[in-house]
Amino acid sequence: MQADLLDGIVIFTRVAEKRSFTAAAAELGVTTAAISWSIKRLEARVGTTLLTRTTRSVGLTEAGELFLEQALASVANVEAAIEAAQRMGANPAGLLRLSVPYIAQTLLEPILEGFAAAYPGIELELVFEDRFVDIVAEGYDAGIRIGEMIAQDMVAVRLTEPSPLTVVGSPAYFARRGRPLRPEQLSEHACINVRLFGGAVYRWMFKERSGQGDPRSFSMDVKGPLTVNGPATCISAAVSGVGLTYNIASVVEPLVRQGLLEPCLEGFMPESPGLFIYFPSRKQMLPKLRAFVEFWKEFGGGQIVRL
């Protein structure tokens, strides 16, 4: 085996993921010239061009695509080996990158201070986004999403129990505008919209039971004075009396208990399957990730739902 076999591979994966020499250099704390030199040496050892370079962008050759797929798995295995060794005699440490949907923001915020105090060696990076994310290709340790429909090569851990969805507003809003008794009456109300990644506006979902058959599920567009790109702002605006917002009941439950928000349309609400955290099975629940999941358990419980 060559002594320099692994030289430059981590740098290559960062350049490939960032599609930029400059961004990779900034992340790794080295110069762009050092990045370029390392890539040239790696390509010389491999014997083929891995990256295409123009004045504006960096891309992958066909060989580079294949090399990246294999290299990511190798880098992850080395990281797992390092963290397995750390587990033997040290506290969990290192960068923990999580891809998180906006809906989870209000659930995460209350635990951040306690987690930082309990695990000072872990640097937690939360990237809030609602798009589909390939967590392996984009360098995340794990992702959090609603529902357990996760790729078969992933491990999924439940973070929250299933919970009804809900429409809520402030007491002042309901005193001023009244309460909708059916979803169709939302056309007479001020609703707070959420614009999803990609530009579409989220449609509010409902279900209605009639007779003994299966309930009828339907969704509808709503209108109002405010559109945002995340539920945290929706909740704040609803508390302020701007309008009605649509969310998971467990997320807004603390505000309902405090009397800041009140639910409506309870008989028409479907159920959310809850939040799951998922990660590649080959990572074998790294110590820093296990620390995060264990800490979350104290705020609602979690269990492995597929191995």
Q: pLDDT (tens digit, 9 = 90+) per residue, 44-91?
A: 888 888 888 876 778 888 888 888 888 887 777 777 776 666 555 457
Nearest-CA neighbor of 167 among 154, 153, 185? 185
pLDDT at 59: 87
Average pLDDT on 157-186 reads 94
Average pLDDT on 159-183 reads 94
Which burial class, exposed, middle or buried, applies to 256 when counting CB atoms under 10 A from its CB (0-12, 13-18, 19+)? middle
Average pLDDT score, the chain: 84
Of residues 293 and 89, more confidently modeled = 293
pLDDT at 185: 97
Tell me the per-residue pLDDT of 235-274, one tens digit each, with 9 for 90 and over: 999 999 999 999 999 889 889 999 999 999 999 999 988 8
Average pLDDT on 187-207 reads 91
Tell me the per-residue pLDDT of 204-227, one tens digit each, with 9 for 90 and over: 999 987 767 678 899 999 999 999
Which burial class, exposed, middle or buried, applies to 130 when counting CB atoms under 10 A from its CB (0-12, 13-18, 19+)? buried
pLDDT at 188: 95
**CA pair distance 130, 158, nearest whole angstrom:** 18
Does the pLDDT value for residue 301 go beyond 80?
Answer: no
Q: Which two tokens stand for residue 229?
A: 């790109």
Q: Are 207 and 218 in contact (CB under 8 A)?
A: yes
The secondary structure element, H or E, covering residue 166 is: strand 163-169
pLDDT at 246: 96
The Cα angle at residue 226 between residues 168 and 222, in degrees rounded to 5: 60
Return all residues near 53 (Cβ < 8 A) that are at least 6 apart. none
Strand 154-158 and strand 304-306: the pairing is antiparallel
pTM of the model: 0.61
Does the pLDDT value for residue 282 go beyond 60?
Answer: no
Of residues 168 and 146, more confidently modeled = 168
Strand 94-100 and strand 142-146: the pairing is parallel
Does the pLDDT value for residue 234 go beyond 80?
Answer: yes
pLDDT at 290: 87
Residue 87's SS3 state is helix
pLDDT at 304: 37
* Torsions phi, psi for 149 (to 5 deg): -80, 80
Q: Are 241 and 205 in contact (CB under 8 A)?
A: no
Write a three-state SS string for 43-73: HHHHCCCCEEECCCCEEECHHHHHHHHHHHH
In percent, the amount of the chain with pLDDT more than 70 equals 87
Q: For residue 20, give the amino acid letter.
A: S
